[in-house]
């Protein structure tokens, strides 16, 4: 990413001006012709397609929801299209008005699986599991809706050290899922067989090689190319069976709460916690998007975008649960696509939304993806989950790993990974506490938040007067001018500090 001139006067609301070779062909409110708009839209869809569908595939596989997976994948694509339209169009106070693609969030994967296993352990049917999951997610989405209006005020509680710890725990707790799939999947009689490892290794190796390619197009498409290659090899070696494809219906009709509406307080708490964390990542993604799109990153317009964008995330997650899909968030992948294409026009989002909705209406897409062998999916998700953990580490490093923060991180990670590795440690607790704190995310988040509140931060008090977030952001961008990575997580921890309240508090 090229360096940026951050000398904008916040009173005039003029956007920060990029310097270097990152000039935009189409600005935020420009209306491109059909050909460049559809070309840019297709690149956004390709860059985000795997991220949209993979959480649904993993949940369906782990919870044994095979018959419902094609429909669930269709709904994931359908609601991603709706959410993308709302985020870009800005309906009333809802939506950032930026070219932001909405998709199913990996951040909720571990807690959704945990909730699903709680319900399944009680002998619930597949439909009852889905009814409870979507009912919980619908109610929990209102936590983010409320949080969006106070995102600035809670910065002293949900700080980068808390966010980084929880995101790190998310990734680390999911790595077991990716590795199990790579080895053949849960319940496989030949778990760890060489042919499983070879197929998963092929996908993993392909993604690694393409990520080191000089072409940015190849890097953006690395995951989808790796999955396609793995799927093709599995097909030619007789490991993909299309025999049941004839039974797949032609059209998926979106039905609100198709499986009913259920609720469980014990499963609700961990999911509600994550709804307090993902808005902070969304704020960072919107900040990065604003910079790339030559929009202000301070002042009333910027603050309105952040609040409206996070509000859209919460509303879109509620709509997603209503239409039988997992919670949604603003994707960071499309920031790299904007840089690649030079198209920041939010009108392109309408084409993206249309493509996703159309894909979601045809369940054959989900049915084909369901046939993907577990090692193929595992080879890709192992990298994805590891990347989530690393994103948390990056946030922690930017927060500063001095003595206080190290203590918070060490205790929180120890508790979170400890209960994941030795669940019997809670065996003598009441069932309510056992189910709540049996989630590594919940106990890790609780620990990080409590310690962050009660442990004094002497270093922050010493450095606070000399800290200029605008100058810090400029430094980060300068340091990254030779790094064209799609991941803008280095900006996430700064978005909070560039708001008017943060600069005066």
Element (H, E) at 235: helix 222-236
- Residue 124 tokens read as 């619930």
- Residue 387 tokens read as 């990347």
Q: Under a CB-based contact definition with an 8 Å cutoff, are residues 395 and 489 in contact?
A: yes
Q: Cα separation of 151 and 326, whole Å? A: 23
Q: Under a CB-based contact definition with an 8 Å cutoff, are residues 78 and 357 in contact?
A: yes
pTM: 0.71
Of the candidates 20, 110, 53, 33, which has an alpha carbon nearest to the alpha carbon of residue 367?
53
pLDDT string in tens for the chain (505-residue length): 333 232 333 333 333 333 334 467 889 888 988 888 888 888 788 778 878 888 898 898 888 888 888 899 999 999 999 999 999 999 999 999 999 889 888 778 888 988 898 888 888 899 999 999 999 999 999 999 998 888 777 667 778 888 788 878 878 887 888 898 899 887 778 888 999 999 999 999 998 998 888 887 777 678 888 888 999 999 998 888 777 776 777 788 899 999 999 998 888 888 888 888 778 778 777 877 888 788 887 778 888 888 999 999 999 999 999 999 999 988 876 777 787 678 889 999 999 999 999 989 888 877 787 788 889 888 888 887 788 788 788 888 888 888 999 999 999 999 989 988 888 888 888 766 776 677 787 788 889 889 988 887 766 544 444 444 455 444 444 444 444 444 444 444 444 444 444 433 3
Q: Under a CB-based contact definition with an 8 Å cutoff, are residues 276 and 158 in contact?
A: yes
Of the candidates 201, 267, 210, 190, which has an alpha carbon nearest to the alpha carbon of residue 230?
201
Q: What is the pLDDT of residue 16?
A: 38
Q: 3-class secondary structure for 60-119?
A: HHHCCCHHHHHHHHHHHHHHHHHHHHHHHHCECCECCCCCCCEEECHHHHHHHHHHHHHH
């Amino acid at each position: 990413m090229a360096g940026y001139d951050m000398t904008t006067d916040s009173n005039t609301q003029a956007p920060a001006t990029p310097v270097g070779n990152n000039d935009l062909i189409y600005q935020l409110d420009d209306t491109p012709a059909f050909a460049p708009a559809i070309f840019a839209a297709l690149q956004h869809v390709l860059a985000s397609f795997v991220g949209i569908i993979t959480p649904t595939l993993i949940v369906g596989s782990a919870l044994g929801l095979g018959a419902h997976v094609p429909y669930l994948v269709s709904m994931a694509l359908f609601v991603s299209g709706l959410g993308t339209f709302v985020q870009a169009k800005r309906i009333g106070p809802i939506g950032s008005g930026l070219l932001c693609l909405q998709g199913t969030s990996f951040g909720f994967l571990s807690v959704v699986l945990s909730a699903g296993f709680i319900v399944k352990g009680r002998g619930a049917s597949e439909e009852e599991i889905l009814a409870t999951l979507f009912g919980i997610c619908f109610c929990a989405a209102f936590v983010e809706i409320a949080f969006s209006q106070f995102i600035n005020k809670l910065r002293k509680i949900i700080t980068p050290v808390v966010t980084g710890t929880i995101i790190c725990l998310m990734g680390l707790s999911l790595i077991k899922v990716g590795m199990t799939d790579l080895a053949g999947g849960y319940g496989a009689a030949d778990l760890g067989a060489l042919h499983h490892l070879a197929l998963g290794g092929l996908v993993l190796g392909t993604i690694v090689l393409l990520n080191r390619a000089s072409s940015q197009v190849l890097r953006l498409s690395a995951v989808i190319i790796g999955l396609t290659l793995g799927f093709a090899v599995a097909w030619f070696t007789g490991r993909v069976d299309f025999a049941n494809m004839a039974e797949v219906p032609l059209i998926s009709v979106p039905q609100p709460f198709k499986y009913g509406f259920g609720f469980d307080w014990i499963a609700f708490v961990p999911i509600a916690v994550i709804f307090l964390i993902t808005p902070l990542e969304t704020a960072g993604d919107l900040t990065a998007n604003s910079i790339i799109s030559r929009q202000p990153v301070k002042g009333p317009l910027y603050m309105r975008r952040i609040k409206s964008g996070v509000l859209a995330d919460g509303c879109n997650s509620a709509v997603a649960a209503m239409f039988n899909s997992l919670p949604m968030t603003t994707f960071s992948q499309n920031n790299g696509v904007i840089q690649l294409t030079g198209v920041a026009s939010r009108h392109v989002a309408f084409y993206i939304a249309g493509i996703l909705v159309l894909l979601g209406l045809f369940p054959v897409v989900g049915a084909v993806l369901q046939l993907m062998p577990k090692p193929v999916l595992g080879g890709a998700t192992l990298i994805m989950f590891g990347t989530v953990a690393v994103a948390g580490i990056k946030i922690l490093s930017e927060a500063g790993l001095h003595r206080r923060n190290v203590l918070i991180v060490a205790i929180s990670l120890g508790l979170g990974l400890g209960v994941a590795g030795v669940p019997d440690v809670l065996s003598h607790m009441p069932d309510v506490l056992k189910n709540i704190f049996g989630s590594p995310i919940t106990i890790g988040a609780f620990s990080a938040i409590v310690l962050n509140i009660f442990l004094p931060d002497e270093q922050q008090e010493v450095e606070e007067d000399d800290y200029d977030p605008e100058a810090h952001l400029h430094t980060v961008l300068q340091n990254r001018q030779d790094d064209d990575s799609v991941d803008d997580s280095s900006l996430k921890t700064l978005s909070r500090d560039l708001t008017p309240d943060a600069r005066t508090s």
